[in-house]
Structure 1
Amino acid sequence: MTTFERINTLAKRKGFGLRELARKSNLGETTIYGWKKRTPDSSKLEAVANVLGVTVDYLLGKSETPEWANEKDTQDLEEFLNRNLDGGMTYGGEGLTEEEKQQVKVAMATIFWNRHKQD
């Protein structure tokens, strides 16, 4: 999902369109629409994240933290990842690349949030 798609989805869940989101974020009316084709500037993205109640990392797809998660949930995730990712991860006797480690981390975070949601 692209940054634009995440923003659009979250705005719809909050019950408003992108023009209203732009207004609430003190941005030009069509600014967010422009993000379909270009990367948003960080200060503008931060303003949108604040209105939507999520992190900039979430909008950029760097974090899969659900919008319902609170500070304790996030701390629990960090503890879960630290417990399970400590030690050398290998495949075929070779260490994983940083990209592969990130993929494992994302997969584990997804499992965590899916299970946490069921509690």
Structure 2
Amino acid sequence: MDIGSRVSNLRLKNKISQEELAKRLNVDRSSISRLENGKRKVSTDELTILSKFFNKSSDYFLGIDQTSKCISPKDSIDLKTLLDGNLNTNMNYDGDNLTREQAERLKLAMTQIFWEKRQKERKRTEKYGTDK
């Protein structure tokens, strides 16, 4: 997703008109339209204003993935430790903060997925005598 799509999605999600956003950025409405359609670049000042206005990081708008695509076994993280340690901090998904209830539901869902996988592996081991 490009920066224009991110701006458009957030604007619509927050029920803000192009006109209103244009006033915030001190540009005309057509500039917002061109930005959202990928025909105009955003300045660093505008990016800062967008970040503050929508309470999102500039990395979010730029589409910078802050997590590694490839994690080596040495760098792997125990999911239980990660979830337990982060339930008391701000967790977010694609830039949107999760409530404590959402974070707990996420932990529950991920734990359930783990145990279902473990159960399937055990059944396969019992049936075929291998854990692969």
TM-score normalised according to structure 2 size: 0.47
Q: In 1, Cα distance between the equivalents of 2:93 and 2:72? A: 16
* Equivalent position to 2:63, from 61, 64, 75: 61
CA distance in 1, matches of 2:33, 2:62: 16
- Report the number of matched residues: 80
**In structure 2, how many angstroms separate the alpha carbons of the residues matched to 1:85 and 1:21?**
42
State how far apart, in whole Å, the 2-side matches of 1:39 and 1:30 are: 13
User: Which of residues 8, 25, 47 is equivalent to 2:49?
Assistant: 47
Deviations 1:20-58 (A, max 9, x none): 112123333332223221321111111122111111110
Aligned partner letter, 1:39: K
| Deviation >4 Å, runs of 4+ | 112-117
Structure 2 unmatched ranges of 5 or more? 77-91, 95-101, 108-132
TM-score normalised by length of structure 1: 0.51
Higher gyration radius (CA)? 2
Structure 1 unpaired stretches of 5+: 65-77, 90-111
CA deviations over 1:71-110 (Å, ceiling 9, x no partner): xxxxxxx8xx7xx657479xxxxxxxxxxxxxxxxxxxxx
